[in-house]
Structure 1
Protein backbone atom coordinates (compact mmCIF):
# COMPACT_ATOMS: atom_id res chain seq x y z
CA UNK A 1 0.00 0.00 0.00
CA UNK A 2 1.25 3.44 -0.92
CA UNK A 3 0.52 6.73 0.78
CA UNK A 4 -2.53 8.56 -0.55
CA UNK A 5 -2.13 12.27 -1.17
CA UNK A 6 -4.95 14.78 -1.60
CA UNK A 7 -4.64 14.78 -5.37
CA UNK A 8 -5.19 10.98 -5.45
CA UNK A 9 -8.21 10.77 -3.16
CA UNK A 10 -10.99 10.21 -5.69
CA UNK A 11 -8.94 7.92 -7.96
CA UNK A 12 -7.84 5.73 -5.04
CA UNK A 13 -11.33 5.69 -3.51
CA UNK A 14 -12.79 4.37 -6.76
CA UNK A 15 -9.94 1.89 -7.20
CA UNK A 16 -10.08 0.44 -3.68
CA UNK A 17 -13.66 0.63 -2.41
CA UNK A 18 -16.43 -1.45 -3.99
CA UNK A 19 -19.45 0.75 -4.67
CA UNK A 20 -17.36 3.94 -4.64
CA UNK A 21 -18.36 5.04 -8.11
CA UNK A 22 -22.05 4.68 -7.22
CA UNK A 23 -21.52 6.53 -3.94
CA UNK A 24 -19.93 9.42 -5.80
CA UNK A 25 -22.81 9.52 -8.29
CA UNK A 26 -25.31 9.64 -5.42
CA UNK A 27 -23.74 12.80 -3.98
CA UNK A 28 -25.92 15.82 -4.67
CA UNK A 29 -24.74 18.97 -6.40
CA UNK A 30 -22.68 21.06 -5.85
CA UNK A 31 -20.56 18.51 -3.96
CA UNK A 32 -20.65 15.96 -6.79
CA UNK A 33 -19.18 18.47 -9.23
CA UNK A 34 -16.64 19.53 -6.62
CA UNK A 35 -15.44 15.96 -6.09
CA UNK A 36 -15.44 15.22 -9.84
CA UNK A 37 -13.16 18.20 -10.46
CA UNK A 38 -10.76 17.18 -7.75
CA UNK A 39 -7.81 17.89 -7.56
CA UNK A 40 -8.15 20.84 -9.93
CA UNK A 41 -10.09 22.70 -7.25
CA UNK A 42 -9.05 23.29 -3.66
CA UNK A 43 -9.75 19.97 -2.03
CA UNK A 44 -11.37 19.58 1.33
CA UNK A 45 -10.52 16.10 2.55
CA UNK A 46 -12.79 16.43 5.55
CA UNK A 47 -15.83 17.07 3.34
CA UNK A 48 -14.97 14.15 1.08
CA UNK A 49 -14.60 11.74 3.97
CA UNK A 50 -17.76 12.82 5.77
CA UNK A 51 -19.96 13.00 2.64
CA UNK A 52 -18.69 10.03 0.66
CA UNK A 53 -16.68 7.61 2.82
CA UNK A 54 -18.62 7.77 6.10
CA UNK A 55 -21.90 6.40 4.72
CA UNK A 56 -20.16 3.38 3.19
CA UNK A 57 -17.75 2.74 6.06
CA UNK A 58 -20.10 3.21 9.00
CA UNK A 59 -22.96 1.37 7.35
CA UNK A 60 -20.64 -1.61 6.96
CA UNK A 61 -19.16 -1.28 10.47
CA UNK A 62 -22.58 -1.01 12.09
CA UNK A 63 -23.70 -4.20 10.37
CA UNK A 64 -26.34 -2.52 8.24
CA UNK A 65 -24.63 -3.63 5.04
CA UNK A 66 -21.62 -5.56 6.23
CA UNK A 67 -19.42 -6.73 3.42
CA UNK A 68 -15.88 -8.02 3.69
CA UNK A 69 -15.01 -6.52 0.30
CA UNK A 70 -16.33 -3.10 1.27
CA UNK A 71 -14.66 -3.11 4.69
CA UNK A 72 -11.37 -4.34 3.25
CA UNK A 73 -11.47 -1.63 0.58
CA UNK A 74 -12.34 1.08 3.10
CA UNK A 75 -9.54 0.07 5.46
CA UNK A 76 -7.03 -0.16 2.61
CA UNK A 77 -8.11 3.37 1.62
CA UNK A 78 -7.75 4.63 5.19
CA UNK A 79 -4.34 2.98 5.55
CA UNK A 80 -3.11 4.98 2.57
CA UNK A 81 -3.82 8.17 4.50
CA UNK A 82 -1.95 6.97 7.56
CA UNK A 83 1.06 6.32 5.33
CA UNK A 84 0.92 9.97 4.23
CA UNK A 85 3.13 12.01 6.56
CA UNK A 86 1.53 15.38 5.79
CA UNK A 87 0.44 16.85 9.17
CA UNK A 88 -2.76 18.29 7.67
CA UNK A 89 -3.77 14.90 6.28
CA UNK A 90 -2.94 13.24 9.61
CA UNK A 91 -5.08 15.78 11.49
CA UNK A 92 -8.06 15.33 9.17
CA UNK A 93 -7.83 11.55 9.33
CA UNK A 94 -7.60 11.66 13.13
CA UNK A 95 -10.88 13.61 13.42
CA UNK A 96 -12.77 12.22 10.44
CA UNK A 97 -11.83 8.57 10.86
CA UNK A 98 -10.29 7.59 14.20
CA UNK A 99 -12.42 9.82 16.37
CA UNK A 100 -15.53 8.60 14.53
CA UNK A 101 -14.75 5.02 15.55
CA UNK A 102 -15.83 6.08 19.05
CA UNK A 103 -19.49 6.13 17.92
CA UNK A 104 -20.05 2.89 19.80
CA UNK A 105 -18.21 0.03 21.41
CA UNK A 106 -19.26 -2.25 18.56
CA UNK A 107 -17.95 0.11 15.88
CA UNK A 108 -14.67 0.61 17.75
CA UNK A 109 -14.06 -3.13 18.15
CA UNK A 110 -14.96 -3.92 14.53
CA UNK A 111 -12.76 -1.08 13.32
CA UNK A 112 -9.88 -2.27 15.51
CA UNK A 113 -10.21 -5.77 14.04
CA UNK A 114 -10.10 -4.41 10.47
CA UNK A 115 -7.38 -1.78 10.82
CA UNK A 116 -4.21 -2.19 8.81
CA UNK A 117 -0.86 -1.73 10.65
CA UNK A 118 -0.40 2.06 10.41
CA UNK A 119 -4.09 2.70 11.11
CA UNK A 120 -4.12 0.33 14.08
CA UNK A 121 -1.02 1.98 15.55
CA UNK A 122 -2.64 5.42 15.21
CA UNK A 123 -5.89 4.14 16.73
CA UNK A 124 -4.11 2.63 19.71
CA UNK A 125 -2.05 5.80 20.17
CA UNK A 126 -5.22 7.90 20.09
CA UNK A 127 -6.95 5.68 22.63
CA UNK A 128 -4.05 5.46 25.07
CA UNK A 129 -3.06 9.14 24.84
CA UNK A 130 -6.37 10.94 24.30
CA UNK A 131 -9.01 8.55 25.62
CA UNK A 132 -7.33 6.45 28.33
CA UNK A 133 -10.62 5.90 30.16
CA UNK A 134 -12.21 4.37 27.08
CA UNK A 135 -9.10 2.31 26.44
CA UNK A 136 -9.06 0.95 30.02
CA UNK A 137 -12.77 0.17 30.06
CA UNK A 138 -13.24 -1.40 26.64
CA UNK A 139 -13.66 -5.14 26.53
CA UNK A 140 -11.60 -6.03 23.44
CA UNK A 141 -13.29 -9.33 22.88
CA UNK A 142 -15.31 -9.44 19.65
CA UNK A 143 -18.88 -8.23 19.73
CA UNK A 144 -21.42 -11.00 19.28
Structure 2
Protein backbone atom coordinates (compact mmCIF):
# COMPACT_ATOMS: atom_id res chain seq x y z
CA UNK A 1 0.00 0.00 0.00
CA UNK A 2 1.71 3.22 1.13
CA UNK A 3 0.86 6.86 1.47
CA UNK A 4 -1.31 8.50 -1.16
CA UNK A 5 -0.45 12.00 -0.03
CA UNK A 6 1.98 13.82 2.22
CA UNK A 7 1.46 17.29 3.57
CA UNK A 8 3.70 19.54 5.67
CA UNK A 9 1.85 20.67 8.78
CA UNK A 10 2.34 24.05 10.40
CA UNK A 11 2.74 23.26 14.11
CA UNK A 12 3.92 25.51 16.93
CA UNK A 13 5.83 22.84 18.87
CA UNK A 14 7.38 19.46 18.01
CA UNK A 15 4.87 17.50 20.11
CA UNK A 16 4.98 13.73 20.45
CA UNK A 17 8.58 13.31 19.31
CA UNK A 18 12.03 12.89 20.91
CA UNK A 19 12.69 16.64 20.59
CA UNK A 20 10.36 17.03 23.59
CA UNK A 21 12.26 14.58 25.84
CA UNK A 22 13.62 17.30 28.15
CA UNK A 23 10.15 18.79 28.57
CA UNK A 24 8.67 15.33 29.19
CA UNK A 25 11.30 14.62 31.86
CA UNK A 26 10.52 17.93 33.59
CA UNK A 27 6.79 17.25 33.35
CA UNK A 28 7.25 13.76 34.82
CA UNK A 29 9.13 15.25 37.80
CA UNK A 30 6.35 17.79 38.41
CA UNK A 31 3.66 15.13 37.95
CA UNK A 32 5.02 13.20 40.92
CA UNK A 33 3.60 15.92 43.20
CA UNK A 34 0.12 15.74 41.67
CA UNK A 35 -2.28 13.35 43.39
CA UNK A 36 -3.79 10.97 40.85
CA UNK A 37 -6.33 8.36 41.88
CA UNK A 38 -6.73 5.02 40.17
CA UNK A 39 -9.24 5.39 37.33
CA UNK A 40 -12.80 4.32 38.09
CA UNK A 41 -13.28 3.52 34.40
CA UNK A 42 -10.78 2.16 31.90
CA UNK A 43 -8.21 4.73 30.79
CA UNK A 44 -7.00 4.29 27.21
CA UNK A 45 -3.33 5.22 27.08
CA UNK A 46 -2.31 6.63 23.73
CA UNK A 47 1.42 6.02 24.02
CA UNK A 48 1.32 2.24 24.12
CA UNK A 49 -2.22 1.63 22.86
CA UNK A 50 -3.37 -0.26 25.96
CA UNK A 51 -5.83 0.16 28.82
CA UNK A 52 -4.40 1.50 32.06
CA UNK A 53 -5.90 0.63 35.42
CA UNK A 54 -3.65 2.12 38.09
CA UNK A 55 -2.75 5.68 39.05
CA UNK A 56 1.00 5.26 38.54
CA UNK A 57 0.55 4.05 34.97
CA UNK A 58 -1.79 6.96 34.18
CA UNK A 59 0.66 9.48 35.67
CA UNK A 60 3.56 8.02 33.69
CA UNK A 61 1.51 7.99 30.48
CA UNK A 62 0.39 11.59 30.84
CA UNK A 63 3.89 12.82 31.64
CA UNK A 64 5.83 10.95 28.97
CA UNK A 65 3.51 10.89 25.96
CA UNK A 66 4.72 14.40 25.12
CA UNK A 67 7.93 12.88 23.71
CA UNK A 68 6.43 9.80 22.04
CA UNK A 69 4.20 9.24 19.02
CA UNK A 70 0.48 8.93 19.67
CA UNK A 71 -0.89 5.53 18.71
CA UNK A 72 -4.27 6.98 17.91
CA UNK A 73 -5.52 4.21 15.62
CA UNK A 74 -4.53 1.53 18.15
CA UNK A 75 -6.07 3.56 20.97
CA UNK A 76 -9.43 4.23 19.35
CA UNK A 77 -9.65 0.62 18.15
CA UNK A 78 -8.98 -0.55 21.70
CA UNK A 79 -11.74 1.73 22.99
CA UNK A 80 -14.20 0.37 20.43
CA UNK A 81 -13.23 -3.21 21.33
CA UNK A 82 -13.95 -2.39 24.99
CA UNK A 83 -17.43 -1.15 24.12
CA UNK A 84 -17.03 2.57 23.45
CA UNK A 85 -19.96 3.79 21.39
CA UNK A 86 -19.43 7.56 21.61
CA UNK A 87 -16.23 9.46 20.79
CA UNK A 88 -15.98 13.13 21.81
CA UNK A 89 -13.03 15.19 20.52
CA UNK A 90 -11.80 18.17 22.53
CA UNK A 91 -11.12 21.43 20.65
CA UNK A 92 -9.64 22.63 18.48
CA UNK A 93 -10.70 20.94 15.28
CA UNK A 94 -12.58 17.89 14.15
CA UNK A 95 -9.95 15.82 12.34
CA UNK A 96 -10.07 12.96 14.86
CA UNK A 97 -13.88 13.08 14.87
CA UNK A 98 -13.92 12.55 11.11
CA UNK A 99 -11.33 9.75 11.34
CA UNK A 100 -13.29 7.99 14.10
CA UNK A 101 -16.57 8.32 12.19
CA UNK A 102 -14.97 6.78 9.09
CA UNK A 103 -13.28 3.96 11.03
CA UNK A 104 -16.29 3.14 13.23
CA UNK A 105 -19.52 3.92 11.38
CA UNK A 106 -21.63 2.19 14.07
CA UNK A 107 -20.36 4.52 16.80
CA UNK A 108 -21.13 8.21 17.25
CA UNK A 109 -18.28 10.71 16.90
CA UNK A 110 -18.68 14.42 17.67
CA UNK A 111 -16.33 17.33 18.17
CA UNK A 112 -16.89 19.37 21.31
CA UNK A 113 -16.28 22.65 19.45
CA UNK A 114 -19.64 22.13 17.73
CA UNK A 115 -21.51 21.19 20.92
CA UNK A 116 -22.52 23.05 24.03
CA UNK A 117 -21.57 21.38 27.30
CA UNK A 118 -25.25 20.57 28.07
CA UNK A 119 -25.59 18.98 24.62
CA UNK A 120 -22.47 16.88 25.16
CA UNK A 121 -23.76 15.77 28.56
CA UNK A 122 -27.10 14.82 27.02
CA UNK A 123 -25.34 12.81 24.29
CA UNK A 124 -23.24 10.97 26.86
CA UNK A 125 -26.26 10.28 29.09
CA UNK A 126 -28.26 8.94 26.14
CA UNK A 127 -25.32 6.79 25.08
CA UNK A 128 -24.96 5.33 28.60
CA UNK A 129 -28.63 4.27 28.59
CA UNK A 130 -28.15 2.13 25.46
TM range, smaller chain: 0.3 to 0.5
TM, length-normalised to structure 1:
0.32
- Which structure has the greater CA radius of gyration? 2
Q: Hey, which of these two has a bigger chunk of strand by percent?
A: 2
Larger RCO (alpha carbons 8 Å, 6+ apart): 1
TM, length-normalised to structure 2:
0.35
